[in-house]
């Protein structure tokens, strides 16, 4: 097990939370990020809380903070935690600075990031990963994990999952990581719905109108994946094809089944909801956009995904940072 330096390439919600837990467990960690993210940590350290009562402080001195990519030269392992639109740029920085023997793990949503990294980093131990939990900002230097689950990374040499499993963070390896990523993508199709709803994730999930839309959107995407011969591994204890059926259940029954699989606290909102709120670029092209493109390639259509993608692009273009749409407005 290596105790070499772990560089978090993109210190935001996932990067600060994962990097903070690793540093608290004694790993040497560098957060590579923007001044707006690193300055509060430099001043007061990191605070990490979660839905189950975690409340952890990581002192400023327990982490190395860097605004420039030359810190990657010291990496024994790189965890990529930028948004999808920034992957190619980060890949070029990793190629320029990180040692060739440092494994690189993408902890990003969507399917294409590991491929983008692999293309820029040939011959490296390059793995995709899947982060099931939600992390939201809770104040300067304070990140809150608002839902449950353990990280899964692709299988490979060494014992990276064991090394990354620290108190508060479970990491496992799976040879079928691509199928797991597709399973996560089906859930991430809700990122846009959540962003457009303006609701907290839990409130959105407790609304049958939103769940019916989620179910119809998921069924549409499952049809496209089936037609494309893509294997999907569920990220919940239930098979992916059951997702739409569970979502369509009456609220009390849905709430009971969902509570057995996952904890979501009232502060949870998807990463895209934060992007829309901040007027930043979203990952819509890697989520609904991908399903629409795959459908078009096969002469199929994905009308809900297309409508949702159009609405997200339009809120970004018009600078609408607080949309409060109703589910029917997202139907074609």
Ligand X SMILES: CC(C)(CO)C(=O)C(=O)O
Residues that bind ligand X (CB under 6 A): 109, 133-134, 147, 187-188, 190-191, 270-271
- Which residue number, 190 or 234, has a Cβ lying nearer to ligand X? 190
3 lines the binding site for ligand NDP (CB under 6 A): no
Cα dihedral sign, 215-287-108-264: negative
Q: Which is nearer to ligand NDP, 90 or 189 (CB)?
A: 90
How many DSSP H helices and E strands does the chain contain?
A: 13, 12
Q: Map the footprint of ligand NDP across residues 220-279, applying CB under 6 A.
A: 271
In which element (H, E) is residue 66 found? strand 64-66
Q: Considering beta carbons, is residue 44 or 223 the nearer one to ligand NDP?
A: 44
Identify what 173 binds: ligand X, ligand NDP, none; CB under 5 to 8 Å per kind: none
φ/ψ of 328, rounded to 5, equals -65, -25
Beta sheet of 6-9, edge-to-edge order: 64-66, 29-32, 6-9, 77-80, 104-106, 126-130, 151-154, 171-174
Instruction: Work out whether 15 is an interface residue with ligand NDP (CB under 6 A).
Output: yes
- 10 lies in the binding site for ligand NDP (CB under 6 A): yes
- What is the nearest approach in angstroms of ligand X to the Cβ of residue 99? 30
66 contact, one of ligand X, ligand NDP, none, CB 5-8 Å limit per kind: none
How is residue 86 written in tokens? 């920034």
Q: Which does 86 bind (CB under 5 to 8 A by kind): ligand NDP, ligand X, none?
A: ligand NDP
* Shortest distance, position 328 Cβ to ligand NDP, whole Å: 27
Binder of residue 81, out of ligand X, ligand NDP, none (CB less than 5 to 8 A by kind) = ligand NDP
Q: Give the residue nearest to ligand NDP (CB).
A: 12
CA 248 – CA 161 distance, rounded (Å): 36
Q: Which pair of structure tokens corresponds to residue 185?
A: 């993508």
In angstroms, give the least distance from the CB of 14 to ligand X: 8
CA distance 169 to 11: 17
CB of 194 to ligand NDP, least distance (A): 11
- Go through 245-262 and write b for each residue having 16 or more CB atoms within 10 A of its CB, e for each that does not: ebbebeeeebeeebeeeb
Q: Are the C-beta atoms of residues 298 and 37 closer than 8 Å to each other?
A: no
User: 134 vs 316, which CB is nearer to ligand X?
Assistant: 134
Helix (H) or strand (E) holding 224: helix 208-227
Closer of 63 and 80 to ligand X (Cβ): 80
- Taking Cα atoms as reference points, which of 263, 261, 284, 258 lies closest to residue 273? 284
User: Which 19-48 residues touch ligand NDP, going by CB under 6 A?
Assistant: 32-34, 37
Distance of CA 218 to the CA centre of its chain: 18
10 binds, among ligand X, ligand NDP, none (CB under 5 to 8 A by kind): ligand NDP
Q: Which of residues 110-139 bind ligand NDP (CB under 6 A)?
A: 131, 134-135
Partner whose binding site includes residue 90, from ligand NDP, ligand X, none (CB under 5 to 8 Å by kind): ligand NDP
Q: CB of residue 133 vs ligand NDP: minimum separation in angstroms?
A: 6
| One residue of 82, 102, 160, 258 binding ligand NDP per CB under 6 A | 82
**Cα pseudo-dihedral 69, 26, 265, 214, rounded to 10:** 50
| Whole-Å CA distances, 314 to 33, 85, 165 | 28, 17, 40
Contact set with ligand NDP (CB under 6 A): 10-15, 32-34, 37, 81-84, 86, 89-90, 107-109, 131, 134-135, 271, 280, 283
């Amino acid at each position: 097990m290596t105790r070499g330096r772990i560089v978090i390439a993109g210190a935001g919600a996932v990067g600060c939370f994962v990097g903070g837990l690793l540093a608290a467990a004694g790993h040497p960690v560098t957060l590579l990020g923007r001044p707006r993210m690193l300055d509060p940590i430099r001043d007061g350290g990191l605070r990490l809380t979660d839905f189950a009562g975690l409340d952890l402080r990581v002192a400023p001195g327990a982490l190395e903070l860097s605004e420039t990519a030359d810190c990657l030269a010291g990496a024994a392992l790189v965890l990529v935690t930028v948004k999808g639109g920034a992957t190619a740029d980060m890949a070029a920085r990793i190629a320029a600075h990180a040692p060739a023997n440092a494994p690189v793990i993408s902890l990003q949503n969507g399917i294409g990031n590991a491929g983008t990294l692999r293309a820029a980093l040939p011959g490296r131990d390059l793995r995709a990963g899947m982060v099931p939990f939600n992390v939201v900002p809770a104040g300067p230097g304070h990140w809150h994990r608002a839902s449950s689950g353990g990280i899964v990374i692709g299988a490979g040499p060494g014992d990276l999952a064991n090394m990354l499993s620290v108190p508060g963070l479970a990491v496992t390896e799976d040879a079928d990581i691509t199928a797991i990523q597709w399973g996560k993508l089906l859930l991430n199709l809700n990122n846009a719905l959540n962003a457009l709803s303006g609701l907290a994730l839990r409130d959105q999930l407790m609304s049958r109108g939103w769940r019916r839309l989620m179910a119809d959107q998921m069924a549409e995407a499952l049809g496209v994946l089936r037609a494309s011969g893509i294997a999907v591994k569920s990220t919940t204890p239930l098979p992916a094809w059951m997702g739409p059926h569970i979502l369509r259940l009456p609220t009390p029954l849905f709430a009971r089944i969902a509570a057995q699989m996952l904890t979501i606290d009232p502060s949870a909102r998807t990463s895209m909801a934060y992007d829309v709120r901040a007027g930043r670029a979203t990952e819509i092209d890697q989520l609904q956009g991908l399903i629409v493109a795959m459908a078009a390639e096969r002469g199929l259509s994905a009308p809900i995904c297309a409508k949702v993608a159009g609405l997200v692009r339009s809120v970004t273009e018009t600078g609408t940072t607080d949309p409060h749409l109703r589910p029917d407005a997202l139907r074609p």
